[in-house]
Amino acid sequence: MTTHTPVGRPLRPTGKFLQEDSRRHHRSLLLQQLFREGPASRADLSRSSGLTRVTVSDLVKAMLAEGLVAELGAPAESRVGKPPTLLGLSVDSTHVIGIDLSATDRFTGAVLNLAGEVQARHEVSLDGAVGTAAVALVHTLATDLMAMTERPVLGVGVGSPGVVDETGTVIDAPNLSWSGMPLAASLAETLGVPVFVANDANTAVLGEHTFGESGDGGLLVLRVGTGVGAGLVLGGSLLHGHLGAAGEIGHVVVDTEGERCACSRVGCLETVLAVPRLRRRLEERGADAAQVLAQVGEQLGIALAPVVGMLNLHEIVLSGPTELLDGPLRDAADRTIRARTMPVSSEGLLIRTSTLGEDVVIVGAAVLVLAGELGVS
Q: Please identify, among the stretches 53-61, 89-97, 134-142, 267-275, the one whose residues bind Zn ion according to the rule CB under 5 A.
A: 267-275
Whole-angstrom distance, CA of residue 347 vs CA of residue 341: 10
- Footprint (CB under 5 A) of Zn ion, residues 57-96: none
Residue 249 contacts Zn ion per CB under 5 A: no
Distances (CA, A) of 31 to 84, 114, 135, 140, 161: 18, 11, 34, 32, 31
Q: Which stretch binds Zn ion (CB under 5 A): 21-29, 72-80, 248-256, 334-342?
A: 248-256
CB of 253 to Zn ion, least distance (A): 8
Smallest distance from the beta carbon of 240 to Zn ion, in angstroms?
A: 21
At a CB cut-off of 8 Å and minimum separation 6, what does 246 contact? Answer: 232, 239, 240
Q: How far apart are CA 269 and CA 159, in angstroms?
A: 22
Binding window for Zn ion (CB under 5 A); candidates: 98-106, 188-196, 198-206, 253-261: 253-261
- What does the DSSP 8-state code read for residue 90? -
- 245 touching Zn ion, by CB under 5 A: no
- Quote the least distance from Cβ 295 to Zn ion, whole Å: 19
The nearer residue to Zn ion, 261 or 308, going by C-beta atoms, is 261
User: Least distance (Å) from Zn ion to the CB of residue 345?
Assistant: 27
Shortest Å, Cβ 237 to Zn ion = 27
Q: What is the DSSP-derived secondary structure letter of residue 370?
A: I
Cβ proximity of 240 and 9 under 8 Å: no
CB-count exposure of residue 56 (10 Å: 0-12, 13-18, 19+): buried
- The 8-class DSSP code of residue 374 comes to I
CB 136 within 8 A of CB 181: no
Contacts of 358 (CB under 8 A, 6+ apart): none
What burial class does residue 19 get, using C-beta atoms within 10 Å of its C-beta: 0-12 exposed, 13-18 middle, 19+ buried?
A: exposed
Binding piece for Zn ion, criterion CB under 5 A, among 53-61, 116-124, 259-267, 368-376? 259-267
Total residues in contact with Zn ion, by rule CB under 5 A: 4
Q: Which of 120, 263, 266, 282 binds Zn ion (CB under 5 A)?
A: 263
Give the nearest distance from C-beta 305 to Zn ion in angstroms. Answer: 19
185 binds Zn ion (CB under 5 A): no
**DSSP-assigned letter for residue 196:** E
Residue 268 binds Zn ion, judged by CB under 5 A = yes
Over the window 195 to 234, marking each residue x when it contacts Zn ion by CB under 5 A and - when it does not, the resulting string is ----------------------------------------
Piece of the chain touching Zn ion by CB under 5 A; list 41-49, 74-82, 185-193, 263-271: 263-271
Between 51 and 272, CB nearer to Zn ion: 272
Is 163 a residue that touches Zn ion (CB under 5 A)?
A: no
Q: Which of 87, 33, 98 is closest to 62 using CA atoms?
A: 87
Residue ranges of E strands in the chain: 40-41, 69-73, 86-89, 95-100, 106-112, 118-125, 153-160, 163-164, 170-173, 178-181, 195-199, 219-224, 228-234, 237-238, 315-319, 350-353
Instruction: Check residue 269 for interaction with Zn ion (CB under 5 A).
Output: no
Question: Smallest distance, Å, CB 262 to Zn ion?
Answer: 6
Task: Supply the minimum distance, in Å, between the C-beta of residue 364 and Zn ion.
Answer: 24
In what helix (H) or strand (E) does residue 333 lie, and over which residues does it extend?
A: helix 328-340
40 or 261: whose CB is closer to Zn ion? 261
**Closest approach of Cβ 280 to Zn ion, in Å?**
17
- The answer to whether 184 contacts Zn ion (rule: CB under 5 A) is no
Exactly one of 99, 184, 197, 261 binds Zn ion (CB under 5 A); which one?
261
Contact residues toward Zn ion (CB under 5 A) are: 251, 261, 263, 268
